[in-house]
Amino acid sequence: MSGHLLDDIVAANRAGRPSGIYSVCSAHPLVLEAAFDRALADGSPLLIEATCNQVNQEGGYTGQTPDDFRLRVVEIANRCGFDPARLILGGDHLGPSPWQHLPAAEAMARAETLVAAYAAAGFTKLHLDASMGCADDPAALDDAEIAARAARLCHAAEAAAGERRGELRYVIGTEVPTPGGAHERLEGVAVTTVDDLERTLTVHAKRFADEGLDDAWRRVRGVVVQPGVEFGHAEVVDFDPAGAQALSQAILDWPDLVFEAHSTDYQTPEAYRALVAGHFAILKVGPALTFALREALFALAAIAAETPGVEAPDLDAAVERAMLEDPRYWRAYYPGDPAEQRFARRYSLSDRIRYYWGVPAVAATLEALFTALEARPLPLPLISQYLPDAHRAVRAGQLAPEPRALVHWHIEGVLDAYARACQDTAADAPERVSL
């Protein structure tokens, strides 16, 4: 291995091998457990990332600092039998985003503290994103100002890492759509132009050099661009390799770099393979994993409701009550009348439910559901009714008919397509059973 697990993946991808890595952007323990199980099966490293709004020095919406998040993820890794040395921790959109309502000077000062906290906590893949405007900024920042702010963030990370700065790997740039999915109806997504790519890289490279960050620039491994993928509430824009062909080739003019593709959730297995082949070697996935989590948990709730003798609390009602009592995480994203909003709260591909699983009342209801279902064997006909793919795996002897195992399996179904596109060993693994 070279100095960082990411280096070998990038080198192999640029050499034309089907090499990439998917980034799990979730803090939910069941999602993380499933991700570790999948990585163990593949013998692969695992990249887990936290966003600036999710985890920061003020706690973020999860209530976790970077140190808290690292300790929690490592604890889950150890519990799952995954070697933490094979774990890459990343920070996504690290910059002033959580404090955009403040003047730029104050927002950037907090962003520097944020990046320093991630670097000091042992995160080694840092996406520096200073592209968003603050309260006293113009409507759109120019490339020079974005690069200058990214360099400030890089200085903060390098200083905080100290003697470990050589372990840091950076990603720059940002995607066009809103992180976590679009909020409006999609009519097509413009692919980043080669000119825009060249300008972003040229301006950043010069600014890093001017700031004495030459060594840090040599550790930049990715640039975020828009390959032409996106998802909305009920629709997905699929990757078109032909439309991104010129962009895919342009990255080869820049040594040691690949693309990082955001919002790759819900793409097809063929699209993931084409993305990796087109040097989109880092594939971010988040809402698709918690969408699968929600599907599996609602299925378990339905199984509990149909199983004679099982008394379990109403998970659906608990989640709906929590979302109505605190609508800040969905109201601005789900337009329409009350019926349309209720549908979106439950089934939107942007999956704003993910913000509510940690609400104490919801978490307690979920634990009570697991306890009720673990008290007796689950009826196979109901597993077949509500989780048919898992039922086939149970019948084939690949999966225990236990509630948490069923949830893991369902989430791993999302990761399967990513793993097969990113890793030679995963691509050669037996297919998931189909009877």
- What CATH number is given to the structural domain containing 312? 1.10.400.20
DSSP string, 164-222: GGGG-EEEEE--SSPTT--SS-----PPPPHHHHHHHHHHHHHHHHHTT-HHHHTTEEE
Q: Which ranges of the chain have pLDDT less than 50?
A: 1-2, 176-183, 185, 425, 427, 434-435
The domain boundary residue, chosen from 286, 307, 332: 286
- 265 touches 231 (CB < 8 A): yes
265, two tokens:
């959730």
Does residue 430 belong to any structural domain of this protein?
A: no
Q: Are residues 203 and 252 in the same domain?
A: yes
**Which of 293, 69, 97 is closest to 178 using CA atoms?**
97
Q: Are residues 173 and 30 in the same domain?
A: yes
How far apart CA 272 and CA 275 sit, in angstroms, is 5
Please write the tens of the pLDDT for every residue from 239-259: 999 999 999 999 999 999 999
Domain count for the chain, please give it.
2
> In the prediction, which pLDDT does 430 show?
53
Q: Are residues 64 and 50 in the same domain?
A: yes
Does residue 86 belong to any structural domain of this protein?
A: yes
15, two tokens:
């050499």
Query: Could you tell me which residues come within 8 angstroms of residue 104 by beta carbon, excluding any fewer than 6 positions away?
Result: 96, 134, 135, 136, 137
- Residue 15's Cβ-side half-sphere holds a number of Cα atoms within 13 Å equal to 8
Burial class for 311, CB neighbours closer than 10 Å (0-12, 13-18, 19+)? exposed
The domain boundary residue, chosen from 244, 260, 286: 286
Q: Are residues 18 and 165 in the same domain?
A: yes
Does residue 325 belong to any structural domain of this protein?
A: yes
295, two tokens:
């599907």
Q: Angle at the Cα of 293 (from 346 to 29), degrees rounded to 5?
A: 125
Measured CA to CA in angstroms, residue 114 lies from 65, 85, 99, 123, 127 at distances of: 9, 24, 11, 12, 12
Please write the tens of the pLDDT for every residue from 260-309: 999 999 999 999 999 999 999 999 999 999 999 999 999 999 999 999 99
Determine the 3-state secondary structure of 258 from DSSP: strand
Does residue 253 belong to any structural domain of this protein?
A: yes
How far apart CA 417 and CA 106 sit, in angstroms, is 42
Q: Are residues 359 and 262 in the same domain?
A: no
Does residue 120 belong to any structural domain of this protein?
A: yes
Does residue 339 belong to any structural domain of this protein?
A: yes
Q: Are residues 63 and 80 in the same domain?
A: yes
Does residue 327 belong to any structural domain of this protein?
A: yes
How far apart CA 197 and CA 356 sit, in angstroms, is 37
Domain span including residue 33: 5-286
Look up the CATH number of the domain holding residue 190.
3.20.20.70
> In the prediction, which pLDDT does 428 show?
52
Does residue 418 belong to any structural domain of this protein?
A: no
Read off the DSSP letter of residue 432: P
**Which of 213, 267, 265, 209 is closest to 238 using CA atoms?**
267
Q: Are residues 257 and 306 in the same domain?
A: no
How far apart CA 308 and CA 301 sit, in angstroms, is 13
User: Is the sign of the CA dihedral 434, 415, 329, 366 positive or negative?
Assistant: positive
Q: Are residues 140 and 264 in the same domain?
A: yes
The domain boundary residue, chosen from 257, 286, 315: 286
- 94 touches 37 (CB < 8 A): no
> In the prediction, which pLDDT does 179 show?
46
Q: Are residues 256 and 129 in the same domain?
A: yes
Q: Are residues 222 and 331 in the same domain?
A: no
Pairing status of strand 236-237 against strand 258-261: unpaired
360, two tokens:
């104490």
Q: Are residues 202 and 234 in the same domain?
A: yes
Q: Indicate the residue type of 365.
A: T
Element (H, E) at 59: none
Residue bearing tokens 């064997």: 377
How far apart CA 434 and CA 282 sit, in angstroms, is 29
- 30 touches 415 (CB < 8 A): no
Q: Are residues 362 and 237 in the same domain?
A: no
Q: Indicate the residue type of 429.
A: A
